[in-house]
Amino acid sequence: MAQLDKNIRLATEKRSKRSIDQLTGFKVTDAFTRFSQRDEIYCRSEWDEDVMSEKASAFFQGYYMPNARSRKTDGFSQRDYALRNASWHVTNILRDVKRESEGLKEGFFDHFSLHDEGWPEPYPFESAQHATNDLQKVARFCGADLVGVCDYDERWVYTEAFCDKTKKGKPLSLPDDLPHVIVTGEAMDADLTKTVPSALAGSATGMGYGYDTITLLTLAQYIRNLGYRAYATMNDSALAVPLAVQAGLGEVGRHGLLITEEFGPRLRLGKIFTDMPLVASTPKKFGVKEFCDICDRCASACPPKAIPHGEQNDQVLNRSNLIGVVKWTTDAEKCFKFWANQNSDCSICIRACPYNRPVTRTMSRWYHRFWHKLASSRLRKLALWLDDQIADRSRHKSGWWWARKS
């Protein structure tokens, strides 16, 4: 009987995975292998000699002020590093509360565990739809710019976590019986992305993480206060991008980043695994795959040539790549080496992306709506040509940002 139940469950899972892939357009081959966080490029910089270097160490240390390598290059002055490093501060505090005592690096290698006791019994929602409406309302109140829900999909969950102390893999502490994943998106400062590459622009990432942390901790505590289980995760525990696509937030671009209709690729992602009764969102398609097929602005703009030109494929460049998925695959080794060399994260691919469309005085909302319609139609080549003529994707000086009224 138990075996029969298991067989039915497995068959249902297989069917639902096929249908979610039909909805998202994901092409997962038989070679598919789940990912270990140990192979993520940041983790590799702590154990893999192919990635470890003095510059890589200096890159990480530079996030703390006395070690910042401030210099005369535009965007890399003390003032720029001062803001960049401060923007990470709250995330770092919350990350490290249990670091010394319990070896946890929350939000990065471990899910958040900073929670108070919730309610002993689950709140009796009228229906899963009512619960989902409340969740949407609360997520936005807690600061999420976007929110969606998908079913749990083990494929995107890490096979193991990374241990901050031993610098080796360790068992994942995320339960595997939570049926839903809430995915949240936190928009990053549009003006700052115009100044990449710079230490200054890293402040958009830092504050993005800060707001992400707050939204996730508050939202997960809310769900626990209702009497359900909720595990908030950020860079830890699972791959965010495929879950975000399944949760209807957007599509994947050539640069490997999630592209949303609302903020393009200018977004930080968070995810909460829960048993709160929820209705899954429908994956959203607005022609990103087809547009990226004809656009390679990110690939051309990438200094270390880490983003591929050409068609999607399932080629694997190094151990930081996911095996068995047909997609555009970024060379994380080249990407990270560039970060280490310039002593700051990059994001030129975000600045160069036509979907990165900050609303400005000169380019008004109606034009962006019109452009989106064009880009998702058969006239996408016209959309790209138009954007090449009109959009200013050049690097702005850091002084431009500092002087700009906000």
Q: Check whether the bond before 122 is cis (ω within 30° of 0).
A: no
The answer to whether 117 contacts a second copy (rule: CB under 8 A) is yes
Residues linked to residue 313 through DSSP beta bridges, in sequence order: 327
The answer to whether 97 contacts a second copy (rule: CB under 8 A) is yes
The answer to whether 257 contacts a second copy (rule: CB under 8 A) is no
Which helix or strand (DSSP H or E) is residue 46 part of? Answer: helix 41-47
Binding region for a second copy (CB under 8 A) out of 50-58, 133-141, 324-332, 363-371: 133-141
Nearest-approach distance from CB 25 to a second copy, in angstroms: 30
Contact 307, 349 (CB under 8 A): yes
Q: Which residues have C-beta within 8 Å of that of residue 107, sequence separation ≥ 6?
A: 91, 94, 95, 209, 213, 216, 232, 233, 234, 235, 236
Residues 150-209 that bind a second copy (CB under 8 A): 189, 203, 207
Measured from the CB atom, the residue of 49 and 116 that comes closer to a second copy is 116
- Interface residue with a second copy, options 24, 45, 92, 330 (CB under 8 A): 92
The answer to whether 90 contacts a second copy (rule: CB under 8 A) is yes
The answer to whether 335 contacts a second copy (rule: CB under 8 A) is no
Binding mask 211-230 for a second copy (x = CB under 8 A): --xx--xxx-xx-xxxx---
Residues 64-83 that bind a second copy (CB under 8 A): 64-66, 78-79, 81-83
Measured from the CB atom, the residue of 94 and 252 that comes closer to a second copy is 94
Which helix or strand (DSSP H or E) is residue 203 part of? Answer: helix 202-226
Contacts 24+ apart (CB under 8 A), 376-379: 376/286, 376/287, 376/290, 376/291, 377/287
DSSP code of residue 50: T
The answer to whether 393 contacts a second copy (rule: CB under 8 A) is no
The answer to whether 317 contacts a second copy (rule: CB under 8 A) is no
Measured from the CB atom, the residue of 355 and 401 that comes closer to a second copy is 401
Nearest-approach distance from CB 89 to a second copy, in angstroms: 4
Nearest-approach distance from CB 318 to a second copy, in angstroms: 33
The answer to whether 89 contacts a second copy (rule: CB under 8 A) is yes
Classified as helix, coil or strand, 293 is helix
Binding mask 46-65 for a second copy (x = CB under 8 A): ------------------xx
The answer to whether 123 contacts a second copy (rule: CB under 8 A) is yes
If phi over 0 gives left and psi between -120 and 50 gives alpha, with beta otherwise, what is residue 357? beta
Nearest-approach distance from CB 61 to a second copy, in angstroms: 12
Nearest-approach distance from CB 142 to a second copy, in angstroms: 7
The single-letter code of the amino acid at 285 is: K
C-alpha to C-alpha distance for 388 and 240, rounded to whole angstroms: 30
Q: How many residues form the binding site for a second copy (CB under 8 A)?
A: 52
Q: Tokens 């860079």 identify what position?
A: 235
**Binding positions for a second copy, rule: CB under 8 A:** 64-66, 78-79, 81-83, 85-87, 89-90, 92-94, 97, 114-120, 123, 133-134, 137-138, 140-143, 189, 203, 207, 210, 213-214, 217-219, 221-222, 224-227, 402-404, 406
